Amino acid sequence: MLSLTTGSLHSPLNDCAVPEAAIETIVDALNGPGWCVIPDFMNPDVWEPMAAEALALHDDGGFRHAGVGRGESFQIRPGIRNDRVRWVDPLAPTQIQQDYLVRIEKLRLAINCDLMLGLFGFEGHFALYPEGSFYRRHLDRFANASHRTVTCIAYLNEDWQPEEGGSLRIYMPDAKGAETHVDIMPQGGSAVIFLSGEFEHEVLPAHRPRLSLTGWYLQRC
């Protein structure tokens, strides 16, 4: 089980139900330090079929090279990021994806109720990092759009080890205002939730294929 000190969480989420204790911790984190790690966001019987489905879609050619920017500014920049992605279609999800969207919707409603962030929707994609892949330091909010408000990254990797790289590095100020960072391993079943516009972050080079479902709660611009 992943264990962190600052902003961490050690409460399970069951299938499509979010326990009150987990909701309170997520809300407190978003209202305080701005981030948290949830080691047991999904049980193995939930995330393992999701991982298998995503890998099968990838093997069938269902992923594309990821890019940076949006709209007319979208570019494929392998020197910045070289993962592959497949977006979840909310109008035509598989049953496994639909179950995850139900979980995400319950959490959205809880966050809105407590923090009144006005989150109205969710967008997300599977991200597969082949061996040697990375994503350089960046912010999840685009320069010309601020609708991404809360980031939720759920990991789908079996028995990840420190020497396999691929950690998410989140940058933040320390108590004296100097920059520090926290590295989070992409352990299967865990999730990272943080304010999208507040934390620059990067994915360190992975030494084995690395899979996640990365998504964002949205505000209206």
What are the sequence ranges of the domains in the chain? 20-67+80-200
Which residue's structure tokens are 């999904």? Answer: 42
pTM, rounded to two decimals: 0.89
Q: What is the CATH number of domain 20-67+80-200?
A: 2.60.120.620
How do the pLDDT tens digits run along the chain, 221 residues long? 222 223 443 334 445 555 676 778 889 999 999 999 998 888 999 999 999 999 999 999 999 999 888 777 778 888 999 999 999 999 999 999 999 999 999 999 999 999 999 999 999 999 999 999 999 999 998 766 679 999 999 999 999 999 999 999 999 999 898 999 999 999 999 999 999 999 999 999 999 999 999 999 999 87
Measured in degrees and rounded to the nearest 5, phi and psi for residue 166 equal 70, 10
Task: Give the pLDDT score at 144.
Answer: 66
Burial class (CB in 10 A: 0-12, 13-18, 19+), 3: exposed
Distance CA 122, CA 150 (A): 9
